[in-house]
Every structure is written in C-alpha cells, then in structure tokens.
Amino acid sequence: MKAHKRNPSDRAYKKGYIAGSGGRSRSGCPHANGEKHQEWINGWRDGREDHWNGFGRSAQAQRLSNL
C-alpha cells in the first residue's frame, strides 16, 4: 500500500496543539511566518485552552485523533 503524504498545515496544527497543551511558550514556534506559522499558533491556542480547562492527556489525545 502506498504511503500518503501528510498535510503540512494539519501537522503544524497538531504540533502546536501538543506544545500548547504541554505548557510550552508560544515563542517556540518553529515557523517564522506564513500558513504553517498561523496553523501552529491556532493549535497552540486550542491546546492552551484545553490545558487551562483541565483536560487530561487522554482527552487531549482523543481530540487530536478526531482531527
């Protein structure tokens, strides 16, 4: 079976979500600007919100798998 390439925007969002839910700073974004930067920031915001609302690791993992 042929491997499918990952969507870079989706991957940036997921990586940002993981960083935000882990309590890391927004300044740790690996992208300088552009679409990937914005997706990473959007994921970071959602991750921070879930972190502040008290979602555990399993709830966060479930949310990522639903994307």
Nearest Cα residue to 43 out of 66, 62, 16: 16
> What is the structure's pLDDT at 2?
62
Nearest Cα residue to 12 out of 40, 34, 33, 35: 40
Q: Is the separation of the CB atoms in 26 and 36 below 8 Å?
A: no
Q: Is the separation of the CB atoms in 36 and 16 below 8 Å?
A: no
Q: How many Å apart are CA 45 and CA 52, to the nearest integer? A: 11
Tens digit of each residue's pLDDT (9 = 90 or more) over 4-42: 677 888 889 999 999 998 888 888 888 888 888 999 999
pTM: 0.80
